[in-house]
Structure 1
Amino acid sequence: MRLYWTSLWAIITREALRFIHQRERFVAALVRPLIWLLVFAAGFRAALGLSISPPYQTYITYETYIVPGLCGMIMLFNGMQSSLSLVYDREMGSMKLLLTAPLPRGWVLFCKLLGSTAISILQVYAFLGIAALFDITHPAIGYVTVLPALIVCGLMLGALGLLLSSFVKRLENFSGVMNFVIFPMFFLSSALYPLWKMAESSELLHDICALNPFTHAVELIRFALHAQMNWSALGWSALALAVFMGAALLGYDPARARQR
């Protein structure tokens, strides 16, 4: 067990040091959702009406509605950025040293996943703090109850990034794959508009959004920020985490790599 905990601490520390040395990455992670919150929301507020729906007990501003979706955006982008570093490490050769450690490969990848999730959570709380400065707040208890939801969502979105990095071998190809995955997942979800609003325009789009794992991650965060549990969103997010992580482990399996 000592060896397992030592490897966990070493990988998380490595992720933290990499993040500290890349300050522009932290700034970019906050600027992107803040632009949506402070600029785009001003235009969308007049175009999109919101009704009273769980977990909200009264009418809310559009800025309040999109905060959970923007938290999910931060975790989605950070999960992809962390997986991009895996592709970079594979090209530079350091990934080979990491995967040849005398530990189960699944544990090594899980440690990597925990490190990226911890960084994502720090970024989300920084964003929530900045949003509070603009009077976009949630119940005080919500900032505590949202932590488990952030852990589940961060692990799920990070596992998706691990899965993509197991199949993309070249650094220049990963950016295109990131955009192909990130933007459809974000826009075809409940991050920017409720699903009932999507159903008014197209039932097909509504069904696609309902099947999107990112939708359930956003709803899990949304309910947790109001100290409520969305069991359906939790179940679907956990299922997506298990599928993505299982597929990533198969992708990093050395026997399958030799077959390819």
Structure 2
Amino acid sequence: MSGLWGVARAIMGREFLRFVHQRERFLAALVRPLVWLLVFAAGFRAALGLSIIPPYQTYITYETYIVPGLCAMVLLFNGMQSSLSLVYDREMGSMRLLLTSPYPRGWLLFCRLFGATLISVLQVYAFLGIAALFDITMPVWGYVAVLPGLILGGLMLGALGLVLSSFIKQLENFAGVMNFVIFPMFFLSSALYPLWKMRESSELLHDICAFNPFTHVVELIRFLLYLQMNWQALAWVVGSTVVLGAVALWAYDPSRALMKRKG
């Protein structure tokens, strides 16, 4: 157990050191959601009407509505960013050495994933703090209650990044794949518009958004911020995390890569 804990501290400590040395990464993680919150929301506010939907008990401003989606955006972009560094580590050989160590491969990947998730959560709270300066606030205890949802959502989106990085052979190709995944996941979700608005436009579009796991990350965060639980969203996020984690564990099997090279 002491060996496993030592490995966990080393891997997660490396993630935090990398984050500290890349201050622009922290700023970029905040600029994206703040642009949506302070610029785009001002234009959408007049054009988009919102009905009273759970977990809200009254009419809310559009800025208040999109805050959970922007929190999930931070998790999504940081999960993909962390996976980009995995592609780099694999090209440099450090990831290969790590996976061929005597420690369980699942534990090594989980530590890598959990370290990146904790960094994402810190960025989300920084964003929520800045939003509060503009009078966009949630219930006080909601900031505490949302923590498990942020961690679970970060793990799911990080696991998705692991799966993508396992199939990318060159670092140059990963940016295109990120854009191909990130933007459809974000825009085809309830991050910016309620699902009932999607249904008014297209039943097919609504179904795609409802099937999108990112939608359920957004809704899990939204309900927890208001001290409520969305059990359907929780089931979707947990199930997606398990499936994506299993695929990532299979994809990062060094023996499988060795057999492919021999073939």
Using the size of structure 2 for normalisation, the TM-score is: 0.98
Deviations 1:5-52 (A, max 9, x none): 001111110000000000000000000000000000000111111000
Q: What is the CA–CA distance in structure 2 between the aligned matches of 1:251 and 1:77, rounded to whole Å?
A: 22
SS of equivalent residue, structure 2 residue 162: helix
Letter of the 2:239 counterpart: L
Q: Is 1:126 aligned to residue 126 of structure 2?
A: yes
1:57-206 equivalence runs, <5 A:
57-206=57-206
Deviation at 1:234, TM superposition (A): 0.2
Q: What is the CA–CA distance in structure 2 between the aligned matches of 1:192 and 1:136, rounded to whole Å?
A: 16
Q: What is the CA–CA distance in structure 2 between the aligned matches of 1:255 and 1:6, rounded to whole Å?
A: 25
Deviation at 1:259, TM superposition (A): 3.5
Q: What is the CA–CA distance in structure 1 between the aligned matches of 2:207 and 2:87, rounded to whole Å?
A: 33
Deviations 1:160-198 (A, max 9, x none): 000111111110000000000000000000000000000
SS of equivalent residue, structure 1 residue 189: coil
Letter of the 1:156 counterpart: M
Letter of the 2:112 counterpart: K
Q: What is the CA–CA distance in structure 2 between the aligned matches of 1:79 and 1:68, rounded to whole Å?
A: 17
Q: What is the CA–CA distance in structure 2 between the aligned matches of 1:65 and 1:182, rounded to whole Å?
A: 20
Letter of the 1:154 counterpart: G
SS of equivalent residue, structure 1 residue 140: coil
Deviation at 1:254, TM superposition (A): 2.2
Q: What is the CA–CA distance in structure 1 between the aligned matches of 2:93 and 2:51, rounded to whole Å?
A: 53
Q: What is the CA–CA distance in structure 2 between the aligned matches of 1:196 and 1:12, rounded to whole Å?
A: 41
**Structure-2 residue corresponding to 1:218:** 218
Aligned length: 260
Between the two proteins, what is the percent identity of the paired residues? 77
Deviation at 1:101, TM superposition (A): 1.9
**Structure-2 residue corresponding to 1:27:** 27
Q: What is the CA–CA distance in structure 2 between the aligned matches of 1:254 and 1:126, rounded to whole Å?
A: 38
Q: What is the CA–CA distance in structure 2 between the aligned matches of 1:215 and 1:117, rounded to whole Å?
A: 18
Letter of the 1:217 counterpart: V
Deviation at 1:227, TM superposition (A): 0.6
Deviation at 1:79, TM superposition (A): 0.2
Q: What is the CA–CA distance in structure 2 between the aligned matches of 1:253 and 1:10, rounded to whole Å?
A: 21
Deviation at 1:94, TM superposition (A): 1.4
Q: What is the CA–CA distance in structure 2 between the aligned matches of 1:182 and 1:256, rounded to whole Å?
A: 28
Q: What is the CA–CA distance in structure 1 between the aligned matches of 2:252 and 2:97, rounded to whole Å?
A: 14
Letter of the 1:29 counterpart: A
SS of equivalent residue, structure 1 residue 80: helix
Q: What is the CA–CA distance in structure 2 between the aligned matches of 1:169 and 1:107, rounded to whole Å?
A: 23
Q: What is the CA–CA distance in structure 1 between the aligned matches of 2:250 and 2:101, rounded to whole Å?
A: 18
Deviation at 1:106, TM superposition (A): 1.0
Letter of the 1:32 counterpart: R
Q: Is 1:249 aligned to residue 249 of structure 2?
A: yes
For the Cα contact (< 8 Å) 2:33–2:74, is it kept in 1? yes
Using the size of structure 1 for normalisation, the TM-score is: 0.99
Gaps of 5+ in 1: none
Q: What is the CA–CA distance in structure 2 between the aligned matches of 1:256 and 1:223, rounded to whole Å?
A: 41
